[in-house]
Chain A
C-alpha cells in the first residue's frame, strides 16, 4: 500500500464525485414528481377552463359531465366528500382519542405492546377491503334498522371510512401522548390530582398539537380515500342532506370515469384533472397545516 505523504488537494476524486452526482439525481426524482403532478394538473385544468369558467365549476350546483345537456358544477361532488368525511370524523375522532388515552395512560405495558402493532397492521388494510365490508355487512345491517336506506348510501361509506382512519388516529395520538414527559404527570399528581385531572388537564393539552395533527392527517386521508366510498356510497352526485341516499365523492367520480372508456382530450377527460386538482389542493392544504402544527409542537420540547 502506498503511503500518501502529501496532504495537499490532489484534484477531484472522480469516483466519489460521480457517486454523489448519481445520488443527487435520485433525489431529483421526487422534485420532478412534484413538478409533474403540478404541471399535468395545471395544464389539463386550464384546458378544462377553456370550456367551463372557473366560477361555473366552483359554484355550480349540478354535476352532469357525461350526458347532454352537460353541467360542470363541482359542488355536489364536494358535498359528497364533505358529508362522508365529516361522518367519518365524528365516528373516528372520539373513539380514536379515547383509545389513545387508554393505551398511553391506562393500559398495561403488555396490552400496549400487543395492541400497538395490531393497530399498525389494521392501518395497513387496503381500502378496497373496507369497501367490501361496507357493501356486504354495514349496509345490510343498516337496512334492518333503517328500512328506507338505499343500497348505496353516504352513511355506510362514512362508517367504514371512519373505521379505516380509526387505527391511524389512535396510533398517532398515542405517540403524541407518550411524548409528554412523565415528570409532568408526576408534577400534577404531586399536587393531589386524580388520573382524570392529570390526563384531561395536563397530558392531553400538552400533546394537543400532536393530537390535532393526527386528526388532520386522518381527515386528509379520508378525503383522498377512494375505493371504500366508490363501493359504498354510489355514483349519484347530489346535494342531498340525507345520509341515507346515494351520493358521489370527488374520488368516486374519478374512478367512475376512468372505468369507462374516455377518449383523451375531450372535456370529459379533462374533468378528471380538474376534480383531481381540487382534491390535491384540499389535501395539500390539510397536510401543510398539520406539518406546521407538528413543527410548533416540537419546539415546545426542545
Chain B
C-alpha cells in the first residue's frame, strides 16, 4: 500500500511494515523561509502501534510531527516537499482539505492548551462542530474515561477547564483529541510539562489506547520511548539517522550515532 522501494526499507531495517503502514513518509523535506529543518525523511507509521520520534533539541521532530496533520499550514513561510501518504492519498495534494485531515489525524500539544470553557465543552466542541448531535453525553464520558480522567472530573463537568491541574489539563486535551475518534494521534512531548505521577498516568493511557489507535509521539525521555513504543525514529539535524523496531534501536542500533545518543542518555 505505502509506496516504498524495498531497498529503501531494507536500509532502514524494516520490511514487514509495508502492508500495515497507515501513514508513509516519502522524502519529506520541510524548510522555514528556505532554511531546511527536515531533509528527505522517509519512514512508515504502523497501524495500531506506537511510533516514537527521538533526537536532540532542534533536530526537527516537532516540525515533522506538525507536517503529519498539516498544522504547519499556520506557520508562515513553511514549505513542505515530498509525500505523506495516508489512505492512498498524499496529504499535501492540492485537492486535500486540511480540515478533513485534522479530523482524522488528531494532535496533543507539548503544553496543555484547554479552551477556556467548561470541561464538558472542551471535549464536546470538536465533535459538535463536525456535525455530531446525538449521544454527546455518552461520547464525552467515554472519551474522558479513555483518557483516565473521568473519575476525577465527573462531578465537575461544568467547571472551567482552567481549574484543573496541569496533568489533568493534559489528559483533558487527550480526551478532546480522542472524542474525534481519530485514526492517528500525534503527540508532541505530551509529558514534558508534567510531574512523574501524571507522566505515568499518561504512559499507562497510551499503552491502553494502542489496541485501537495509531500513535506517533515525540519525546526526549529515552526510557519513555523504550517503554511504550513499538517503533522508533531517531533524527539529528533534520535527517533521519535510523528507523526500526524500538528494541533494535535501543539494544543493537545499526548506526554509531544512534548508539551514542541512546546510551549517552542512559548514562
- Enumerate chain B residues within 8 angstroms of A285, measured Cβ to Cβ: none
Contact of A184 among B71, B106, B115, B130 (CB under 8 A): B115
B102 at the interface (CB under 8 A from A): yes
Determine if A197 and B114 form an interchain contact, defined as CB atoms under 8 angstroms apart: no
- Enumerate chain A residues within 8 angstroms of B177, measured Cβ to Cβ: 190-191
- Enumerate chain A residues within 8 angstroms of B111, measured Cβ to Cβ: 183
B175-203 Cβ-contact flags toward A at 8 Å (1 or 0): 01101100000000000000000000000
B85-108 Cβ-contact flags toward A at 8 Å (1 or 0): 000000000000001101100110
Residues 154-174 (chain B) with a chain A CB within 8 angstroms = 162, 173
Minimum Cβ distance to chain B for residue A185 (Å): 7
A62-83 Cβ-contact flags toward B at 8 Å (1 or 0): 0000000000000000000000
B76 at the interface (CB under 8 A from A): yes
B114-127 Cβ-contact flags toward A at 8 Å (1 or 0): 11110000000110
Determine if A192 and B117 form an interchain contact, defined as CB atoms under 8 angstroms apart: no
Minimum Cβ distance to chain B for residue A216 (Å): 21
Determine if B126 and A193 form an interchain contact, defined as CB atoms under 8 angstroms apart: yes
* A187 CA / B176 CA spacing, docked (Å): 9
- Enumerate chain B residues within 8 angstroms of A191, measured Cβ to Cβ: 102-103, 106, 125-126, 129-130, 176-177, 179-180
A121 at the interface (CB under 8 A from B): no
A206-B99 in contact given A186-B109, A201-B129 (Cβ < 8 Å): no
Nearest A residue to B117, CB-CB: A205
A124 at the interface (CB under 8 A from B): no
* A186 CA / B125 CA spacing, docked (Å): 14
* A250 CA / B242 CA spacing, docked (Å): 77
| Interface of A, helix, strand, loop or mixed by DSSP | helix
Contact of B74 among A181, A184, A189, A201 (CB under 8 A): A189
Residues 190-220 (chain A) with a chain B CB within 8 angstroms = 190-194, 197, 201-202, 205-206
Determine if B113 and A187 form an interchain contact, defined as CB atoms under 8 angstroms apart: yes
A28 at the interface (CB under 8 A from B): no
A194-B74 in contact given A184-B113, A186-B113 (Cβ < 8 Å): no
* A184 CA / B173 CA spacing, docked (Å): 11
* A156 CA / B129 CA spacing, docked (Å): 42
Minimum Cβ distance to chain B for residue A100 (Å): 19
Determine if B129 and A206 form an interchain contact, defined as CB atoms under 8 angstroms apart: no
- Enumerate chain B residues within 8 angstroms of A300, measured Cβ to Cβ: 116, 162
A192-B130 in contact given A109-B76, A201-B125 (Cβ < 8 Å): yes
* A189 CA / B71 CA spacing, docked (Å): 8
Minimum Cβ distance to chain B for residue A5 (Å): 50
A192-B115 in contact given A109-B76, A186-B74, A186-B109 (Cβ < 8 Å): no
Minimum Cβ distance to chain B for residue A109 (Å): 7
* A205 CA / B177 CA spacing, docked (Å): 21
Determine if A190 and B102 form an interchain contact, defined as CB atoms under 8 angstroms apart: yes
A123 at the interface (CB under 8 A from B): no
* A186 CA / B66 CA spacing, docked (Å): 10
The 5 closest A-B pairs by CB, nearest first: A191-B126, A192-B103, A183-B113, A190-B107, A187-B113
Further 16 A-B residue pairs, CB within 8 A, beyond A186-B109, A190-B69, A191-B106? A109-B76, A187-B109, A187-B176, A189-B71, A190-B71, A190-B177, A191-B103, A191-B180, A192-B126, A192-B130, A192-B180, A193-B99, A201-B129, A202-B115, A205-B116, A300-B162
A residues with a Cβ closer than 8 A to B are 109, 181-194, 197, 201-202, 205-206, 300
